[in-house]
């Protein structure tokens, strides 16, 4: 091939959904992956829950009121939204579609209801159909999940019990996902996530027509 025949490879970014029960280690694994892949972006969701200590508005979430959340639903700004553990959470179209169109890879840490909505949405959305993948992060055991939630100590006892109750039904949905990663040893789970991302980078369907040299 002569150099003059080469054209710039044009490709969509990857949209990688990461779900799993609260306390399974999604944020920890995603943050470690970001250290390995600094250019990786996060979809920042909107939520009506209050900030935990150490969180910052616009970094972990956009923390908004229920009225603001309803206005975003009315203006069709979410590609999915759901009530999770008693609070509302939603994924902004601009955080995902706009970014993958720019070629940016985006991680979405969202619950199983949201993941199923986006999976369905992707069936009729040409862009998402090409760049979406779903990864389920499971705990090594239910006992370990409870221990992690209690050790994190960010929720009240009632909130912990609700998250553990919801975990049972969330765990049943793992077969809806493209990949299952058990977060036992953190390093190994991060390595496995990186391997999934690497495989997705090889996916030909993310390339546009002019993405090859023909
Ligand atoms: P999630 O985002 O799924 O709710 P977090 O990332 O907040 O979960 O992790 C819950 C707790 O478990 C945190 O205290 C975190 O430090 C701890 N944790 C995460 N991964 C592991 C692991 N592989 N082994 C032990 N503890 C872990
Ligand atoms: P937390 O309050 O612990 O940050 O998150 C609680 C749950 O909400 C987690 O399972 C997380 O994945 C989920 N979540 C966060 N953002 C979104 C979102 O935009 N949509 C949905 N459906 N779930 C979300």
As a whole number of angstroms, the distance between CA 112 and CA 170 comes to: 6
Report the nearest atom of ligand 1 relative to the CA of 30.
6
Q: Return the beta strands (E) in 95-190 as ranges.
A: 106-109, 132-138, 179-182
Q: Are 121 and 128 in contact (CB under 8 A)?
A: yes
- Does the beta carbon of 89 sit less than 6 angstroms from any atom of ligand 2? yes
Q: Looking at residue 8, what is its pLDDT? A: 53
- Does the beta carbon of 192 sit less than 6 angstroms from any atom of ligand 2? no
Q: Looking at residue 10, what is its pLDDT? A: 77
Radius of gyration (Cα) for the chain, nearest Å?
18
pTM for the complete prediction? 0.92
Each residue of 3-36: pLDDT tens digit? 444 445 578 999 999 999 999 999 999 999 999 9
Q: Are 14 and 201 in contact (CB under 8 A)?
A: yes
What residues in the chain have per-residue pLDDT under 70? Answer: 1-9, 209-214
- Does the beta carbon of 117 sit less than 6 angstroms from any atom of ligand 1? no
Q: Mutation test of ligand 2: which of 27, 84, 88, 160 has the most ligand atoms closer than 8 Å to its C-beta?
A: 84
Q: Give SS3 for 80.
A: strand
3-state helix, strand, coil in the chain (%, to 5): 45, 20, 35
Residue with structure tokens 């980078």?
Answer: 201
Q: Looking at residue 205, what is its pLDDT? A: 85
Helix pair 157-171, 142-152: axis angle to 10 deg: 150
Domain residue extents for the chain: 15-200
As a whole number of angstroms, the distance between CA 33 and CA 40 comes to: 8
- Does the beta carbon of 28 sit less than 6 angstroms from any atom of ligand 1? yes
Instruction: Name the CATH superfamily, with its identifier, for domain 15-200.
Output: P-loop containing nucleotide triphosphate hydrolases (3.40.50.300)
Q: Looking at residue 212, what is its pLDDT? A: 65
CA of 199 to the centre of ligand 2 (A): 25
- Does the beta carbon of 25 sit less than 6 angstroms from any atom of ligand 1? yes
- Write down the mean pLDDT value for the chain: 92
- Does the beta carbon of 54 sit less than 6 angstroms from any atom of ligand 1? no
């Amino acid at each position: 091939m002569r150099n003059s025949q080469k054209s710039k490879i044009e490709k969509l970014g990857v949209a990688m959904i990461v779900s799993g029960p609260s306390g399974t280690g999604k944020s920890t694994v995603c943050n470690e992956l970001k250290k390995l892949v600094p250019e990786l972006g996060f979809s920042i969701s909107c939520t009506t829950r209050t900030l935990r200590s150490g969180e910052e508005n616009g970094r972990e979430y956009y923390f908004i009121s229920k009225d603001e959340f309803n206005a975003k639903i009315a203006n069709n700004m979410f590609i999915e939204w759901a009530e999770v553990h008693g609070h509302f959470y939603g994924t902004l179209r601009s955080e995902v579609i706009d970014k993958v169109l720019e070629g940016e890879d985006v991680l979405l840490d969202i619950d199983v209801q949201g993941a199923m909505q986006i999976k369905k949405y992707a069936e009729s959305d040409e862009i998402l159909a090409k760049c979406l993948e779903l990864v389920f992060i499971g705990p090594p055991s239910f006992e370990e999940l409870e221990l992690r939630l209690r050790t994190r100590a960010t929720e009240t006892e009632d909130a912990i019990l609700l998250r553990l109750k919801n975990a049972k039904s969330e765990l049943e949905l793992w077969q809806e996902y493209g990949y299952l990663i058990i977060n036992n040893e953190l390093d190994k789970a991060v390595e496995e996530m990186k391997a999934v991302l690497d495989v997705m980078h090889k996916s030909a369907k993310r390339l546009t027509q002019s993405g090859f040299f023909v």
